[in-house]
Structure 1
Amino acid sequence: MKIKHLTAIVAFLMTTLVFCQDKQITLEEIWSGQFRTEGMQALHSMANGKQYSVLNFNRQNRTSTIDIYDYVTLEKVKTLVSSADIAEIQGFFDYKFNSDESKLILTTQSQPVFRRSTLGEYYIYDIATKKVTKVSDQLVQEPTLSPDGTKIAYGFENNLYVKDLTSGTVEQITTDGEKNKIINGITDWVYEEEFSFVRAFDWSADSKQIAFIRFDETDVPEFSMDVYGSELYPTQHVFKYPKAGEANSKVSLHLYNVTSKKLEELKVNKTYKDFYIPRLEWTNEANVLSVQYMNRHQNELDLWMFNTKTMDAKKVLAEKDKAYIDVTFNLTFLKDNSFIWTSELDGFNHIYHYNKDGKLINQVTTGDWEVTDYYGFNEKANTIYFQSTENGSINRDVYSIKLNGKNKKRLTQKTGTNSASFSADFTYFINTFSNANTPQQYTLHRAKTGELLKKIIDNKALAEQLEDYMISEKEFSTISVNGNALNMWTIKPKDFDATKQYPLFMYQYSGPGSQQVANRWNGANDYWYQMLAQEGYIVVCIDGRGTGFKGADFKKVTQNELGKYEVEDQIEAAKQLGERNYIDASRIGIWGWSYGGFMSSNALFKGNDVFKMAIAVAPVTSWRFYDSIYTERYMTTPQENASGYDDNSPINHVDKLKGDFLLIHGSGDDNVHVQNTMRMVEALIQADKQFEWMIYPDKNHGIYGGNTRLHLYKKMTNFIHSTLGDSSKASKN
C-alpha cells in the first residue's frame, strides 16, 4: 500500500512539473504587465563621481523619493528628498538637477502634447534650504535651471519666460508667440518628431545669455483631426503639419542677454534657402555658441560657431553626403574647445576629433562596424567611452579608447546588448545587459578595466516565472537574399517537428536605419510571438536592405525609392522560407506597424503569389501624406521625385490584392494620419477588393489606453487564426 501511495505521489509531482513547464502565455498576461522587468528609474550620476541617485516610489504610502546610493557598496546613503516631507506637493514622478546639483526640478503633473512634448506642473527644490518654489501656476514646457541655479527659463503659450528664484519676479522674453503661427524656444511638430528634441533654447555657461530658435509656422499648412471624445459634439485638433514638399516653418536664431534685457537675432554670413537648425549648444566658452544648419535635402550639414561678444560667426565644419546625414546629440566640447563628432564619412559611423576651428585632428575609431552610442570623454584619462557593433551587428558592447585612437578596450564581456551609465568622473559604470535568453541585468563595473564589482538587479524572479511557460528559443541566423546576408530571427513551436508543416508569420519594420533583429530581451511583441508559436505558427523577422548598423551603403541603398528594395527582400525571403519542408508555402502572412504597415501592405499587394494575408497597423499608404523632414530625407520632394513617391506606395497597388488584408488605425494619430487609411480604404473599395479594417477612436500612433492594446492584439490574433491557422482558436471576447 505504501509503495502504491508513493508511486501515486511521484506521478502527481511529475504531472504537475510537466504542466507547469507547459503553461501558455495569454494576451491578458502580456498587456497587464505580467512580464514587466525591474529597472533603475531616472538614474543620475552625482557630480562627486562616488554616488548616484535613483527615483523610487513606495506604492504602500504613495510617496516618491530621490535616494542617493554609494557606487562601491551599492548601499543607500540617504534620501535626498521625499514627497512626504514637502507639504506643497503630493508626489512627483521625475526630477532633474541643475549643473552644480544645488537644486532640483520636480515634475508633479504632466499632460502630453505630442510624442516627446508635455505640459507640466513643476517645483524647484533647494537642497540646502529645503525650500520649495513653484515654477508657475500655469502648465509650462521644458523648465531649465540656469547653470548657477539662480534663474529658471521655460516656455508657455509659445513664448519664453525667465523667473528669478531670489526675487520671484518673472520676465517674459518674447511677446510674439501665437498658436499655429509663432513658437519661441520650443520646437514645432515636425522638429520634435524628426529631430528628436523639444527644448529649442539653451543657457550659456555663465548664466548670462539664452540662445533660442524661433519658428514661424504661418505658411505651414494646417492639419485637422476630429476628436470624438464623450460629449454630444466632437471637437477638432488643428495643428501645423508640413507634408512632403509643403512649406516648413521659417526658423531663425535669437539671443537674449539676461543682464541687459537685449534681444537680437543671430545671422550667419551664408545665404541658406529653406533650411533647418536641428541643434544648438553653448560651448565651454561663455560667449561661443555652436549651431548646426542643414539644407532641406539634409545632405549638407554645417557647424557654425557664434561669438556673441563680437557677433562674428564662423563655419568650422561642413559635411556632405550623396544621400543624407543623420543629426545626432554626440557633439561634445573638450576643455580646449576642440570637439568630438560622429560621422559616416568613411562608410560606417565613427568618432572624430576636431580642433575648435574645425580642423581634423584624428579619426578616433575605425573599422567595418558602427559606433552606436557615445558616452563621454574622461579628460583626466584622455579616454572616450562608447558603444558599438564590433561584436556583430545584432549585439552591442561598451568600449573605451584613447583620444588618439589607441588602446581600445572592450569593457563588457557578455554577448548580447550592453549599455552603460558612467559615473561623473568615469571611475565606474552601471551596465545594463540583456540578450534573447536573459532579462535585463544591472551590474557595477570599473570603467578603467570593465571589471565586475557588484550585481545590482538581475530580474531573476521574472526568469524563474518564465520557466513555467512554453518559451521557445529565439534562433538568430542570416538568410541570403538578393545578394545580401540579411539578419534573421526565428521562433518555432516548442514541440517543433521538422516532418510537419507550419504556417509562417513574418514581422518587420524595415525603416531606414532601423533594427528589429537584435540580441536583446523580450518586448511585449516578443511574448505575443511566443504565444503564436505555442499555437502552431513559425514566426520570423528579417532586417532587409535599408535597415541599420551594417554600414552606410547597406542603409542608404533605398534612397529615393522607399519601399522598393525593402519589399523585394521580404517577398524573396518569404519565397525561400516557403521552400523549406516544414513551412506551408500556402500559409504565409506578414505584419507591421507604421513603416512596417507600409511594408506589409506592399508585400501583400506586390507579392500576391507569396503572401496569403497581411496586417497593417497605422501604415503610411503614400509618402505624399507624410511629413517633410522624414520623407524628404530619403526621397527629396514629390515635385522632384514623383515616381519615387508613387511607384512604391501601396495605395497605388490595391488592384493586385488577392489575399486577406486587415487595416488598423487610430483616428487621433497626429503622426501617420488616419487619412492614410481612409484613402487606402477608398482605393480598395473602388478596386472592388474585400478587406477587414478597424478604427480606434481618438487613439494616437501608439494605439493604447485602457483596454485598447488588449483589444487590438485580440483582433490581430483572431485574424491570424482565421486566415493562416485554426479559426476555432479565435477568441470572441
Structure 2
Amino acid sequence: MKYLRFSFQICLFFTAVLSAQNKEVTLEEIWNGTFRTERLDALHSMANGQQYSVLNFNREARSTSIDIYDYKTLEKVNTLVSSSDLPSVDYFTDYTFSADESQIILATNEESIFRHSVLGHYYIYDVKSKSLTLISEEKIQEPTLSPNGDKVAFARNNNLYIKDLVTTETFQITFDGVKNKIINGITDWVYEEEFAFVRAFDWNADGTQIAYIRFDETNVPEFSMDVYGKGLYQTQEVFKYPKAGEANSNVSLHVYNLKTTKTAKVNLGEKIEYIARIEWTKNADVLSAQVLNRHQNKLDLLAYNTAENKTSVLLIEEDKAYVDVTDNLTFLKDNSFIWTSEKDGYNHIYHYSKDGKLINQITKGAWEVTNYYGFNEKAKTIFYQSVENGSINRDVYSIKLNGRSKTRLTQDEGTNGADFSADFSYFINTFSNASTPPRYTLNSASSGKVIKLIKNNEALSKTLSEYKISNKEFSTIAINGNDLNMWTVKPTDFDPSKQYPLLMFQYSGPGSQQVANSWISSNDYWYQLLAQKGYIVACVDGRGTGFKGADFKKVTQNELGKYEVEDQIAAAKQLAALPYIDAERIGIWGWSFGGFMSSNCLFKGNDVFKMAIAVAPVSSWRFYDSIYTERYMATPQENASGYDENSPINHVEKLKGDFLLIHGSGDDNVHVQNTMRLVEALVQANKQFDWGIYPDKNHGIYGGNTRLHLYTKMTNFLDENLGDKISKK
C-alpha cells in the first residue's frame, strides 16, 4: 500500500523455537507475575568509581539488603546493611547515601500520599559503627542529609525541621504550616503532579543554608472525594486543586541561615506564577531558581546571592507556545553551567558562562536529546541519550564540552539507557527492544565496548518461548502531511486473505510517545491475548507527540484534541482500506488523555469507529488542573472555544457506536467528576452506553484483583461489540 513508507518486523524469538510456541497468554498470567521482568533496583554508583550498590530483596527471608558489587568482576564484594541484622527494621524500601557514603538513610513503612509523595519512618544507618538512628517517631517526608552528613532536614505536618545527628537535637525552622493553607518545603498537589517534584528545599554546598519554597494555598479552591472504605459511613478527602483558570498557590522563595537562625525572603523580581525548580550552585552563597509566568511561555533562570541579597537573571527562555522546565541544569566547578533547550527547534545541550552568556551549543541536528547523564570534568566530556538513530530508538553518546569528538557508545538498535560510575569510567547499559527483554551490561564509558553481561532476563525469555507471541511490526503511515510512527500486532496465524477486526490504541498527550522500540509492557501482553483471539492491534503516534521536534509537538497548542483526533480518524480510514481489515469492526481505546481521545474519536469519527473504551478520561479541560492545561490551552477565560469545541462532553449527540466508560472514584488526578458529567450528558442526549466505577481506586485503577477485573471487563466488551465472528475464549 502507498501509505507505508517503510516497514520492518522485529521477531520476538528465533525461528528454532517458534514451533514450541503453543501456549496462549491469559489475563490471569498478565497480572500474577508470570511475565515479571528482572531489574536492577535502586542502582547507585559508589564514589570510588569502581563499585556500585543495589537494593536486593530476599523473598524467602522477606528481608532487604544494600549489596556492593565490583564493576570489573561484577561480583558481590560486600553487604553494607541487611534488614535481617536490624531488630527494629523488618525491611526497607529505598536508601540514600550521604555525600561521603558513611551514612545511609533507610526508608521504611512508606505510604503513598499522591503520585510521587510518601510519608514514612526513616532511619540513619552509620556504616562504620553499624548504629541505627530513627529520625522521627512521627512519619515524615523527604529526609535529606546535609553535605557533611552531620544534620538531616525533613518535612513534617507542612513545616521544615533539622535534626542534628551529633547532639540528636531536632529544631523547627518554619512554624506556619497548616493543612490546606500553608506548606513549607514540600510541593502542593499540582506542582507534584505537573512539575514532578516533591522536595521543595535544598541544602547549599557547605550545609550552612537551606532554601525552600513556601506555598500559600489559602485561595486555591478545594476538591473533595468520598472515600467509601469498609466502614458504615464513608469519609471524605478534601485537598486543594486548582482547575484551569482558578487561583494557584501563592509561592515564595526563602533561605534559612543555620548560623544566624534567620530566614530571608528572596526577591524574584517581577511577579511570577511558578517556581519550577531550585538548585544551589557550586558557590555556597548563590542559589538558582527557574521561574515561569502563568502561560509558561517565559522561563527565567535566576541567581540569588545570599551574601549580597541580590537577584540577577542568568538567562531567559521564551516560546510562542510554552517552555519545558529542564532537569538538566548542571553547574560546573567554575559555575558555568550546562542547559538544555528547544530554542533551535529541537532539544539540545548548551554551555553558558556563570553570568549566563552563551559559550556554545554543544549538540546540533534535526533530532532530540532525550536524557542528560552528566559531565566528566577531567575529560571535559558530556554523556547523553538521543534519538539520532530514529525517533523510536534511543542511544547513548559522549561529546566534548566544545561540541567535538561525538561518539556513539551503544550499538544495538532499540532503547539504550545508561547509569555511569562516579568517575565516568564505566556505565551500566540497560538495553531492550520489542524482541529483547531488558539486558544489563557493563560498558566502557570511553568506547562503549561491552565488558560483561550483568543480567539478561533469560528466565523470562525461556518462559515466553513457550507462548504464541506475535511480532510487533514498526512502520510509518502518511497522514495529514506527516509520516507518523506506527506499530501493529497481528495474529500469529495471520492470513492476508481473511478480514480481521482492528483495535487502535493511543495516548496522544503533548510530548508523549507510545510507538517506541522497547520491551513490552502489561498492555502489550493484553494485545498478544487479543491477537490470539483474532484481533489486529495498532498504535499511531499523531501530531502533538514527542521526539520529532518542537513544531511537530506544539502544533496542537490551544486546541488539544483537534489535530490529534483528526490524525487517529484519518489513520483508521487508511487502515480500513487494507484488504485484511474489516472496516465494519474498528475500535479504539485509551487511558487518561487517551480516554479523552478515544471518546472524541468515537463521537467525531462515528463513520469509522464502531466502539471505544475510555478509562479515566478527561471529558472537558475545564475540569483539569491549571499547570498542565494552561501550558497547552491558556485559561478558559482566554480560550473558551479551544476548551469547548474539542471536549467530548460537547459531542455526545454524535455517538453511534458502542461505548465503555471506566473511572476510579478515588482518582485525585482526573477526577471522577469528568465521567459523571459525561454520563449525564450522554443520558440527556438519550445515548446508550456501558460504564463502571471502581470504588476508591485512583488514576491507576489497581490493587488486589482490580486490574484483572478491569481487563476482563474490557476484553468481554471487545468480544461482544467488535469481535463477532471471532471464537470466544
- For the criterion TM > 0.5, the same-fold answer is yes
- Supply the distance in 2 between the matched residues of 1:91 and 1:253 (Cα, whole angstroms): 37
Q: Quote the residue 2:42 is aligned against.
A: 42
**Distance in structure 2 (CA, Å) of the matches to 1:341 and 1:728:** 54
| Counterpart selection for 1:562 from 546, 560, 563 | 560
Q: Conserved in 2, the CA contact under 8 Å of 1:591 and 1:597?
A: yes
CA shift, 1:80, in A, is 0.7
User: Please, which runs of 5 or more residues in structure 1 have no aligned partner?
Assistant: 1-16
Q: Deviations over 1:697-725 (max 9, x none)?
A: 00000000000000000000000000111
TM-score scaled by length of structure 1: 0.96
What CA distance in whole angstroms lies between the structure 2 residues aligned with 1:353 and 1:678? 50
Structure 2 equivalent of residue 21 of structure 1: 21
Aligned-pair CA distance for 1:272: 1.3
1:8 aligned partner: none
Measured against aligned partners, the alpha-carbon deviations of 1:565-613 in whole angstroms (never above 9, x if no partner) come to 0000000000000000000000000000000000000000000000000
Matched, 1:622 2:615: no
In 2, Cα distance between equivalents of 1:711 and 1:266: 52
Which amino acid is 2:25 matched to?
I
Check if 1:441 corresponds to 2:453.
no
Q: Separation in 1 of the partners of 2:724 and 2:715?
A: 11
Residue equivalent to 1:664: 662
2 CA distance for matches of 1:183 and 1:62?
37
- 1:729 & 1:67 partners in 2: Cα distance? 51
Which residue in the other structure is 2:629 paired with?
A: 631
Is the contact made by 1:717 and 1:730 (CA closer than 8 Å) also made in structure 2? no
Relative distance call for 1:729 and 1:256 in structure 2 (3 A) is: farther
Deviation, structure 1 residue 21 = 1.6
| Aligned partner (choices 277, 281, 284) of residue 279 of structure 2 | 281
Q: How far apart are the structure 2 equivalents of 1:730 and 1:111?
A: 41
Distance apart, 1:93 and its partner CA: 1.5
Match status 1:65 vs 2:84: no
Secondary structure in 2 matching 1:374 = strand
Measured in 1, the distance between the counterparts of 2:727 and 2:61 equals 43
Does the CA contact (< 8 Å) of 1:721 and 1:727 recur in 2? no
Residue type matched to 2:31 in 1?
Answer: W
- Residue 690 of structure 1 is matched in structure 2 by 688
Distance 1:307 1:88 in 2: 44
Bigger shift: residues 465-474 or 675-684: 465-474
CA distance in 2, matches of 1:535, 1:202: 54
User: 1 CA distance for matches of 2:84 and 2:337?
Assistant: 44
Q: Matches of 1:87 and 1:607 in 2, distance apart?
A: 62
What does residue 122 of structure 2 align with?
122
Could you tell me which residue of structure 2 aligns to residue 4 of structure 1? none
Alignment map for 1:264-663 (pairs within 5 Å) = 264-268=264-268, 270-273=269-272, 275-663=273-661
Structure 2: distance between partners of 1:504 and 1:591: 11
2:225 aligned with 1:225, yes or no?
Answer: yes
2:248 corresponds to 1:248 = yes
Report what 1:176 is aligned to. Answer: 176
User: For the residues of structure 2 that align with 1:84 and 1:660, how far apart are their CA atoms?
Assistant: 55
Partners in 2 of 1:221 and 1:151 — Cα distance?
Answer: 37
Distance 1:706 1:666, change over 3 A: same
Q: C-alpha offsets along residues 238-284 of structure 1, whole Å, 9 cap, x if unaligned?
A: 0000000000000000111112111121113x2215x1000000011
Given that residues 722 and 730 in structure 1 are in contact (C-alpha distance below 8 angstroms), is that contact kept between their aligned partners in structure 2?
Answer: no
Question: In structure 2, what is the Cα distance between the partners aligned to 1:61 and 1:499?
Answer: 56
Identify the residue that residue 32 of structure 1 maps to in structure 2. 32
Classify 1:549/1:728 alpha carbon distance in 2 versus 1 (closer, same or farther; 3 Å). Answer: closer
Residue 86 of structure 1 and its aligned partner are, at CA, apart by 1.7
Write the distance in 2 (CA, Å) between the matches of 1:208 and 1:86: 32
| SS state at 2:683 partner | helix
| Aligned-partner residue type, residue 109 of structure 1 | N
Q: Say how many residue pairs are matched.
A: 713
Q: CA deviation at 1:95?
A: 0.5
Offset of residue 444 of structure 1: 0.2
Aligned residue type for 2:501: P
CA-CA distance at 1:75 after TM superposition: 0.6
Q: 1:88 deviation in Å? A: 2.2
State the AA in 2 paired with 1:364.
I
Contact kept? 1:718, 1:727, Cα under 8 Å: no
Q: Matched residue of 2:567: which SS?
A: helix
Question: For the structure 1 residues 619 and 727, does the alpha-carbon distance in structure 2 shift closer, same or farther, using more than 3 Å as the test?
Answer: farther
In 1, the alpha carbon distance for the partners of 2:725 and 2:301 equals: 59
Paired residues for 1:61-210 under 5 Å: 61-210=61-210
- Please provide the CA RMSD for this pair: 1.0
Q: CA deviation at 1:727?
A: 8.0
The 3-state SS of whatever aligns with 1:513 is: coil
Which structure's relative contact order is higher, taking Cα pairs within 8 Å and 6+ residues apart? 2
- 1:659 CA displacement: 0.1
Q: Which amino acid aligns with 2:135?
A: V
> Residue 87 of structure 1: CA displacement?
2.1
1:262 and 2:282 correspond:
no
Is 1:681 aligned to 2:679, yes or no? Answer: yes
> SS of the residue aligned with 1:717?
helix
- Counterpart AA for 2:701: I
Counterpart in 1 of 2:5? none
Q: Using the TM superposition, give the Cα deviation of residue 461 of structure 1 relative to its aligned residue in structure 2, in angstroms.
A: 1.4
Unmatched tracts of structure 2, length 5 or more: 1-16
Matches of 1:219 and 1:553, distance apart in 2: 36
Give the Cα–Cα distance (whole angstroms) in 2 for the partners of residues 243 and 21 of structure 1.
50
Match of 2:722 in 1: 724
Q: How big is each residue's C-alpha offset from its partner over 1:276-318, in whole Å with a ceiling of 9 and x where there is no partner? A: 0000000111111001110000000000111111111110100
Distance 2:631 2:265 in 1: 28
Matches of 2:410 and 2:19, distance apart in 1? 38
Counterpart amino acid of residue 188 in structure 1: D
Contact 2:28 2:708 in 1 (8 A): yes
- Residues 1:235 and 1:730: Cα distance change in structure 2 (over 3 Å): farther
Deviations 1:423-454 (A, max 9, x none): 00000000000000000000000000001100
1:21 is paired with a residue whose SS is coil
Distance 1:19 1:348, change over 3 A: closer
Distance 1:311 1:449 in 2: 46
- How many Å apart are 1:730 and its aligned residue? 5.7
- The whole-number CA distance in structure 2 between the counterparts of 1:721 and 1:670 is 31
Contact 2:18 2:465 in 1 (8 A): no
Partners of 2:113 and 2:561 in 1: CA distance: 31
| Residues 128-159 of structure 1: CA deviation (Å, up to 9, x unaligned) | 11111001000100000101100000000100
Q: What is the TM-score normalised by the length of structure 2?
A: 0.97
Q: Deviations over 1:354-374 (max 9, x none)?
A: 000000000000000000000
Runs of 4+ in 1 over 3 A off after TM superposition: 17-20, 726-731
